[in-house]
Amino acid sequence: MTIQFHRLRPEKETRAGMSRRMFLMTTTMAGITTSAMLGNASFAASGALDAPQKASLLRMIQDIYPHPDVLQLSHYEAIAATVLQNAEANAETAKALTEGLAEIDKQSHALFATDYVDVTDPDAREGLLRHFQHEGFFQSVRWTAYFGIYDNKDIWPLFGYEGSSAEYGGYIDRGFSDITFVPEGPTLEQRIAQVQD
């Protein structure tokens, strides 16, 4: 019995020489911007928390998953809006969130004599949050943020991730070597010459 492996052939270039990676990064920006704007409006309009608590929640999400060079404030606001929607839908979730944020501020005043959002040292804020990392409200915010960032197809291009490729035949023929941040290596002839020397 003979087993043959067939790879899908790459489609003909239809984007004027643009790589798949660049195409995804440019075409998804409109979707990212739109969803971030909607999240921002929803975050601002929510009545689940008062303004200082909203600021603490936003700072908390940024401190749990800091990507200042990749994500913008509007991306974090969209995640905070989701947390607030969950709180508005469930009284126990809302109570745990408001009490948890109050405890963070209480601990911040005990350690730094200021509100959590006014602590300027990111390492100090991280240390402060570690006191609460096993609490239910913290885990709820953490997992909402996790999926809001890393399972968000609109955000993937910002990280340079193209998504699953198995259903398209793998990355060999579609984007495996179109990255621009790795220098070109030696050619096959140059490698053979090095071995023969």
Residue 1 pLDDT level (bands cut at 50, 70, 90): low
| Res. 20: pLDDT tops 90 | no
Quickly state the pLDDT bin for 54 (edges 50, 70, 90).
very high
In angstroms, the CA 33 to CA 20 distance is 20
pLDDT value of residue 14: 43
- Please state which of the ranges 7-21, 42-56, 109-123, 131-145 shows the lowest mean pLDDT: 7-21
Distance CA 34, CA 155 (A): 12
Q: Which two tokens stand for residue 55?
A: 């600021």
**Which tokens is 76 given?**
């974090």
> Interhelix angle for 136-150 vs 51-64, to 10°?
60
Instruction: Please tell me what DSSP assigns to residue 132.
Output: T
Work out the pLDDT band at 47, boundaries 50, 70, 90: low
Task: Confirm if 148 and 82 have CB atoms less than 8 A apart.
Answer: yes
